[in-house]
Amino acid sequence: MPYVSGMANEPDPPNEWRVYEQDKTPDPEPAPPSAPPSVFPPVPYGDASSSSQPIVIRSSSGGPKLVLIMIAVIVLGVVVAGAVAIFAAVDSGIGGLGGIDAKDPDDFEELIATLEEERGTTVVHDVNFYTDYIIVYMPYTDDPKDDRQIAFTWRGGDLEEWTRGTTTDPRFDLKEIDPDVIEGMCDPVLERADGATPDDCSVFLSPPSFEGDEGWFRASASDDFGRSVTVKYDKEGVEIPEETP
């Protein structure tokens, strides 16, 4: 009986069977993972590694620090401005700060010019020369019968009103006095007043107060024990010998 295949449609087996040879060619190495994209934008030229990127650090305390810095700058500006104002005041004698040597002939002459410019007169009752300022006592009006008096301080700038009152003291024209005679008037006083310094000596100018008196200037200072030493000068600045009892 002839052989009948179990599957009518199955093809006939090949006459020779092919032996399978394994492909021993190694598989290619996997490609390295691609680098993550740069966080920085590409540069148009040059080495990207040489470029530097700004780094911004934000701090919640930045606000107060900025305010403190601004305050410090403002305070410094005020201090500098104040210092400049003080030096200017010292130089010009404005604002209560002396800028003169009251017993210097040049400042004496400038005082006379200031009186004429601001008051229109150089007629006075008394003039007191201290360290860095001068006090001038003047008639309030040019009426000889008017006993009102006004006093000014002068520190090298404008006249500053000081006091008002009345007086019967005689008047004289300050232009009649040579400013140069005041120089050196304190020297004999300082020689006799132990411990006194030039700043301790003051000079007072007024007409003689009684008949026979030739004193116009009086330079005065106190020694270490508070004793007053006074030297008188006539109108030309000549020292008047001290009277002996």
Q: Give the sheet arrangement for strand 228-233, strand by strand.
A: 160-166, 148-154, 134-139, 126-129, 202-205, 217-222, 228-233, 239-240
| CA distances from residue 81 to 87, 134, 222 in whole angstroms, order as listed | 10, 28, 39
The domain limits of the chain are: 63-92, 100-245
pLDDT band for 29, please (50, 70, 90 cuts): low
**pLDDT over 90 percentage in the chain:** 56
CA distance 213 to 206: 12
**pLDDT over 70 percentage in the chain:** 60
pTM exceeding the 0.75 threshold for the entire prediction: no
CA distance 111 to 83: 27
